[in-house]
């Protein structure tokens, strides 16, 4: 009898424990459901945790792609062009224009048939830099007492500038065609002296070859300014 009662009590105790555990689980589930309803974000935390890396990876990839696209478009676009322009601009501003002198030029003299009694001076830039031919040449002929004057009507509107390989010109009236000049004589040597930016004659001059027989000069001796066109120099 006692053994039967003991088994019944044990069965009831086990059933009670099972019911208690079931109630506890139900309560936890109810509480969790209530929390999920009150905080839907937390309720989806599991899905978010899974989606976030994917989303983050996608967003990061898109951001990186967008950044790369911006750089790619920027470089060959206007930014790249501007950079080249700037560089072009630095190269231009960096190009130094110097005064033409005997050190970076070759000076020649040529007699012409027309107009009469004229000599054409040519200055070729043989240097590597652009140079300016300022003013007009000082002509130092053999036994000359003074530098001949310049014909002011030939003054150009701008300084004659020579890039490497280019030439500038000056026309020289040696003597009056009608014989009205005075003090005439034959000169067999000539030096050409350049002017600087301040229009001062500098240096000892560059020797220029003349015809072997020399040239006849008189008081009419006159030169033009340095010009870019030989025809203008002889006009």
Give the tokens for residue 228: 């870019």
Is residue 165 within 8 Å of residue 125, measured between CB atoms?
yes
* Domain assignments of the chain as residue spans, ordered by start: 2-93, 98-234
Q: What is the pLDDT of residues 184-194, one digit of tens each?
A: 999 999 999 99
Q: What is the pLDDT of residues 148-167, one digit of tens each?
A: 999 999 999 999 999 999 99
Residue 4 pLDDT > 50, yes or no? no
Structure-model confidence comparison of residues 119 and 16, the more confident one? 119
* Strand runs labelled E in the chain: 98-99, 105-112, 118-125, 131-141, 160-162, 167-173, 185-187, 190-195, 201-208, 215-217, 222-223
Structure-model confidence comparison of residues 155 and 179, the more confident one? 155
Is residue 166 within 8 Å of residue 125, measured between CB atoms?
yes
pLDDT for res 192: 97
Residue 27 pLDDT > 50, yes or no? no
Structure-model confidence comparison of residues 68 and 216, the more confident one? 216
Which residues, 6+ apart, have CB-to-CB distance to 183 below 8 Å?
Answer: 218, 219
Structure-model confidence comparison of residues 112 and 47, the more confident one? 112
Residue 210 pLDDT > 60, yes or no? yes
User: Lowest-pLDDT range, 38-42, 93-97, 202-206?
Assistant: 38-42
pTM of this prediction exceeds 0.85: no
pLDDT for res 96: 82
Q: What is the pLDDT of residues 83-136, one digit of tens each?
A: 333 333 333 445 689 999 999 999 999 999 999 999 999 999 999 999 999 999
Whole-number mean pLDDT of the chain? 74
Q: What is the pLDDT of residues 50-86, one digit of tens each?
A: 444 444 444 434 333 333 323 222 233 333 333 333 3
Does residue 115 have a cis peptide bond before it, meaning omega lies within 30 degrees of 0?
A: yes
User: Which residue reads 């209530």 in tokens?
Assistant: 34
pLDDT for res 225: 98
pLDDT (mean) for 43-55: 42
Distances in Å between the Cα of 132 and the Cα atoms of 152, 217, 227 are 19, 28, 11
102: which DSSP letter?
A: T
Percent of the chain at pLDDT > 70 equals 60
């Amino acid at each position: 009898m006692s053994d039967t009662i003991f088994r019944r009590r044990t069965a009831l105790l086990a059933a009670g424990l099972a019911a208690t555990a079931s109630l506890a689980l139900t309560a936890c589930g109810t509480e969790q459901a209530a929390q999920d309803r009150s905080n839907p974000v937390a309720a989806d935390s599991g899905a978010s945790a899974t989606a976030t890396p994917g989303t983050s990876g996608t967003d990061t990839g898109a951001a990186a792609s967008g950044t790369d696209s911006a750089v790619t478009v920027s470089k060959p676009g206007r930014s790249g062009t501007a950079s080249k322009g700037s560089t072009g601009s630095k190269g231009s501003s960096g190009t130094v224009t110097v005064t033409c002198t005997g050190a970076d030029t070759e000076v020649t003299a040529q007699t012409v048939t027309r107009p009469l009694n004229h000599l054409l001076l040519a200055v070729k830039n043989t240097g590597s830099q652009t140079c300016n031919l300022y003013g007009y040449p000082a002509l130092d002929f053999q036994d000359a007492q003074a530098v001949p004057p310049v014909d002011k009507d030939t003054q150009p509107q701008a300084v004659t500038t020579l890039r490497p390989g280019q030439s500038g010109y000056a026309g020289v009236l040696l003597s009056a065609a009608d014989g009205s000049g005075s003090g005439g004589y034959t000169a067999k040597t000539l030096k050409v002296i350049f002017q600087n930016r301040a229009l001062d004659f500098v240096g000892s001059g560059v020797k220029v070859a003349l015809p072997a027989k020399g040239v006849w000069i008189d008081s009419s001796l006159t030169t033009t300014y340095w010009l870019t066109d030989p025809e203008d120099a002889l006009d």
